[in-house]
Amino acid sequence: MFKNKNTKKRSGSIRTGALTIEVALCLPILILLLFGGYELARTSMVLHATQSAAYEGARAGIVPGATPEDIQESVEFVLHTMGVSRFEIETIPAVIERDTPQLEVIVRVPVGENLGFPRLFVEDPTFIGACTLFREVP
């Protein structure tokens, strides 16, 4: 009358181990998509931080009495906030004088040295952010 479910035999089942094979095939693709998406998002964030840092550096340098150290601090603040550790800053002209009509700030960020993971999809470009602003006259 009463049959125990555990004693029932599976005869003719062809799906034995199908879940293991599906996971073995799908998991690497899922992990690749996950890390690829992270790398692309991080790369995009570094690109936008480079442009923003150049703009903020130029804004700090156009006010009367600004020094190259002010530009350096402004650029470093933006890039360090985004986790960028290695970069180069160039100002044109290198020495800010009272009668300088405009200021250009160029920021170079090597992407490969600032990503968290080894490069999978992106080669080793250097992002360049540049901004030219006219100086304020006193």
- Return the domain boundaries, the chain: 17-134
Question: Which tens digit of pLDDT belongs to each residue from 28-53?
Answer: 999 989 988 888 888 888 889 999 99
Q: For residue 103, with 0-12 CB atoms within 10 Å meaning exposed, 13-18 middle and 19 or more buried, which class applies?
A: buried
pTM passes above 0.85 = no
**How far, in Å, CA of 6 to CA of 41, rounded?**
50
Asked whether the predicted pLDDT for residue 118 surpasses 70, the reply is no
Burial 63-90 (b: 16+ CB within 10 A, else e): eeebeeebbbebbeebbeebebeebebe
Give first-to-last CA distance, the chain, whole Å: 101
3-state secondary structure of 129: strand
CATH class of 17-134: alpha beta
Q: How far is CA 22 from CA 13, 16, 26, in A?
A: 17, 12, 6
